[in-house]
Amino acid sequence: MVKGYAIGRAAVMSAAALEVVHYRVASHEVESECERLRRALAQARDELQAMAGTLPEDAPRELGPLLTVHSMLLDDPMLFQQTCALITERHYNAEWALTSQGQTLAEQFALMEDDYLRERGADIRQVIERVLRVLSGSSSLLAELEAADSPEPLIVVARDISPADMLRLRGGRFAAFLTDLGGPTSHTAIVARSMNVPAVVGLGHLRALVRDGDTLIADGFTGVVLVNPSAQVLQEYRQRQADYARERAQLALLRDAPAVTLDGIAIKLEANIELPEEAQAAMLAGADGIGLFRSEFLFMGRRDLPTEQEQYQAYASVVKTMAGRPVTIRTLDLGADKNLDGDVTVASNPALGLRAIRYCLANPEIFATQLRALLRASLHGHVRILIPMISHMHEVHATRQAIDAACTELEARGVPYARNISLGAMVEIPAIAIAIEPFVESLDFLSIGTNDLIQYTLAIDRGDSDVADLYDPMHPAVLRLISHTINAGERAGKPVAVCGEMAGDARVTRMLLGLGLTEFSMHPAQLLDVKKEVRQAHSNALRVKVASALNRAERIDLASLSA
């Protein structure tokens, strides 16, 4: 969900163009059918490339990279080859073959452990839908929306919305985006957030229940969508809209205000980013630095590995944008159920398999290339290297050896880099949180990844809807692990941050302050909400309340912390 309230008329994006016919082609028609598919792929790719090359200045920064990803997927020879194989072997028509291949790819992506990568199956689906429209000769699903001249805001209701479609919709009077598919890290949510437009995604079957012109209320806070509400309900939500607008205007005044508690404790509020372009949004939000740059996003949506130079340019651009503020870059966090070349191999238990630092140490050339790029970028500012999924001290030692080897290679090439680069680890496996002391002594900083820490502590797959209600950030065991890590950092004089979803949830800001946390890292859009809570809190008083609850192994009453 993307926060906010929206009231408007429904504009339902039809999917009729995607209802393709299925038939078999004769043997002598196979070659021409494959050629028809090839032309459609090329046309769809050319359309995206042309769109990416003529982005207007006011387009969201995320759209350029997303359009490029879709273009590269269409240019991938494997998409054509595997689909053409279905035409050749089974005599499917091009539409049938492409739909079948899309279903196979979607099933493979659905098995992926990582939330973001699992939702990248939407990229495959969206590019296939674009090609199907070309094959069918139909006009764009957005033609009626682009031409719409509604006297009141429209709320787009769709099965899904591709990045290209989001671009074409950006100039209209669209109050919100509602989709049957997607999740918090889907493109619709990402781009809607950058456009500051409410969005509710993953609604299931809303499109089948709404008609064009219906009056809709979209609540981006609760995920509730109301269809044709009463006049009384409309008035209530219009008041909520007005109140929220005033609240955001007041929050904007905090941008340059210091994040200091009532008792004078300075708090660092940093930003999580996934693409280099997002560093500018972090600066505009008043971030104290980048607390988490998820570097794996540079590796996704491409057939080849990014070169050292490509990675260096991406990292250096963020470091330069942050103008001396610290930039914490997490090394590649892929593996087990997701491979860089797009092939998918499913481990018996991907969450516990060869991923993150385990993957990097098992693939030293990939790791060495990234480390050299990071070291080179460190010359432009304060770079900190963050290692994910550490569980053993020997992984720390192996990482330092890999960094030393990268330094030696750069020196042999005469390439400059900063000599005193900081090395930290993600605390996301309970083992490191429980036996934290040697890690604190050996590393320069720690960053708690609460998403995985909760998952591993409670044995809950956070992507499994059957047990989603058991995923509990406030479980006393989870809070004790966080507290133990923060306290160990305090004793050793080493900084400890939280970069998981909890850090950006203003409802738990006071609780984290009560645990002793002084460094938060979150999506830039969440920063001002958290800063507001920080400036209204008394840190030392909160520490007494939270410590008392933890000692009694009680659940912490968040409301009592605001009293």
Q: How confident is the model at residue 3 (pLDDT cuts 50, 70, 90)?
A: confident
- Residue of 335 and 188 predicted with greater confidence: 188
Query: According to the model, what pLDDT value does residue 141 have?
Result: 47
What's the average model confidence in pLDDT over 436-459? Answer: 94
What are the tens digits of pLDDT across the range 168-225?
665 556 788 898 877 665 666 666 766 678 888 888 888 888 888 899 999 988 989 9
Query: According to the model, what pLDDT value does residue 55 have?
Result: 67
Grouping H, G, I as helix, E, B as strand and the rest as coil, residue 76 is coil
Query: According to the model, what pLDDT value does residue 272 have?
Result: 92
Grouping H, G, I as helix, E, B as strand and the rest as coil, residue 415 is coil
User: Does the pLDDT value for residue 338 go beyond 80?
Assistant: no
Q: Which of 34, 84, 360, 499 is catalytic?
A: 499
What's phi and psi for 520, nearest 5 deg? -120, 145
CB 178 within 8 A of CB 204: no
Give the separation between CA 185 and CA 25, rounded to whole angstroms.
40
Within a 10 A sphere around the Cβ of 469, how many other Cβ atoms? 8
- Give the distance, in angstroms, between the CA of residue 467 and the centroid of all CA atoms in the same chain: 22
Distance (Å) of CA 245 to CA 4, 60, 234, 544 = 9, 21, 17, 35
What are the tens digits of pLDDT across the range 139-158?
444 455 544 555 678 888 88
User: Does the pLDDT value for residue 343 go beyond 50?
Assistant: no
Query: According to the model, what pLDDT value does residue 483 have?
Result: 97
Q: How confident is the model at residue 350 (pLDDT cuts 50, 70, 90)?
A: low
For the CA atoms of 425, 336, 343, 61, the dihedral, rounded to the nearest 10 degrees, stands at: -30
Q: Which residues, in sequence order, are bridge partners of residue 496? A: 446
Q: How confident is the model at residue 461 (pLDDT cuts 50, 70, 90)?
A: confident
Q: At what angle do helices 527-535 and 231-252 cross, to 10 degrees?
A: 70
- Residue of 103 and 412 predicted with greater confidence: 412
Spatial strand order of the sheet with 174-179 comes to 199-200, 174-179, 154-158, 5-12, 215-219, 224-227
User: Does the pLDDT value for residue 110 go beyond 80?
Assistant: no
Closest CA to 165 of 200, 140, 199, 135: 140
Give the separation between CA 187 and CA 193, rounded to whole angstroms.
10
What are the tens digits of pLDDT across the range 517-529?
999 999 898 899 9
Q: Among the listed ranges 96-105, 181-190, 400-409, which one has the minimum average pLDDT value? A: 181-190
User: Does the pLDDT value for residue 266 go beyond 80?
Assistant: yes
User: Does the pLDDT value for residue 336 go beyond 60?
Assistant: no
Residues 6+ apart with CB under 8 A from 169: 142, 145, 146, 156, 161
Distance (Å) of CA 336 to CA 30, 158, 343, 348, 367 = 37, 33, 11, 9, 16
Grouping H, G, I as helix, E, B as strand and the rest as coil, residue 266 is strand
User: Does the pLDDT value for residue 302 go beyond 80?
Assistant: no
Give the separation between CA 135 and CA 36, rounded to whole angstroms.
8
In the chain, the percentage of residues whose pLDDT exceeds 90 is 50
Give the separation between CA 117 and CA 110, rounded to whole angstroms.
9
**199-200 and 224-227 beta bridge pairing:** unpaired
Catalytic annotation present for 34:
no
Give the separation between CA 105 and CA 444, rounded to whole angstroms.
41
Within a 10 A sphere around the Cβ of 521, how many other Cβ atoms? 27
Catalytic annotation present for 523:
no
- Residue of 265 and 249 predicted with greater confidence: 265
The total number of residues written for the chain in this structure: 563
Within a 10 A sphere around the Cβ of 365, how many other Cβ atoms? 8
CB 273 within 8 A of CB 185: no
User: Does the pLDDT value for residue 232 go beyond 70?
Assistant: yes
Per DSSP, 460 falls in state -
Query: According to the model, what pLDDT value does residue 188 have?
Result: 67
Query: According to the model, what pLDDT value does residue 546 have?
Result: 94
Residue 356, phi-psi category: left (phi > 0), alpha (psi -120 to 50), beta (remainder): left
Query: According to the model, what pLDDT value does residue 139 have?
Result: 47
What's the average model confidence in pLDDT over 423-428? Answer: 97
Please identify which residue in the block is written with the tokens 């939330």: 115
Query: According to the model, what pLDDT value does residue 113 have?
Result: 65
What's the average model confidence in pLDDT over 74-89? Answer: 87
Per DSSP, 352 falls in state G
Query: According to the model, what pLDDT value does residue 337 have?
Result: 42
Query: According to the model, what pLDDT value does residue 17 have?
Result: 42
What's the average model confidence in pLDDT over 242-269? Answer: 93
Grouping H, G, I as helix, E, B as strand and the rest as coil, residue 349 is coil
User: Measured at the alpha carbon of residue 552, what is the angle toward residues 549 and 554, in degrees to the nearest 5?
Assistant: 60
- Residue of 461 and 299 predicted with greater confidence: 299
> Average pLDDT of the chain?
85
Q: Using CB atoms within 10 A of its CB, is residue 307 exposed (0-12), middle (13-18) or buried (19+)?
A: exposed
CB 279 within 8 A of CB 317: yes
User: Measured at the alpha carbon of residue 489, what is the angle toward residues 487 and 490, in degrees to the nearest 5?
Assistant: 65
Q: How confident is the model at residue 76 (pLDDT cuts 50, 70, 90)?
A: confident
Per DSSP, 353 falls in state S
Q: How confident is the model at residue 119 (pLDDT cuts 50, 70, 90)?
A: low
Closest CA to 187 of 108, 127, 260: 127
pTM, full prediction: 0.70
Q: How confident is the model at residue 530 (pLDDT cuts 50, 70, 90)?
A: very high
Q: Which of 70, 187, 484, 523 is catalytic?
A: 187
Distance (Å) of CA 194 to CA 255, 351, 385 = 17, 30, 27
Residues 6+ apart with CB under 8 A from 237: 5, 7, 217, 219, 226, 229
Query: According to the model, what pLDDT value does residue 191 have?
Result: 67
- Residue of 14 and 89 predicted with greater confidence: 89
Q: How confident is the model at residue 16 (pLDDT cuts 50, 70, 90)?
A: very low
Q: Using CB atoms within 10 A of its CB, is residue 370 exposed (0-12), middle (13-18) or buried (19+)?
A: buried
Q: Among the listed ranges 113-122, 452-461, 509-518, which one has the minimum average pLDDT value? A: 113-122
Query: From the CA atom positions of the chain, what is the Rg in Å?
Result: 25
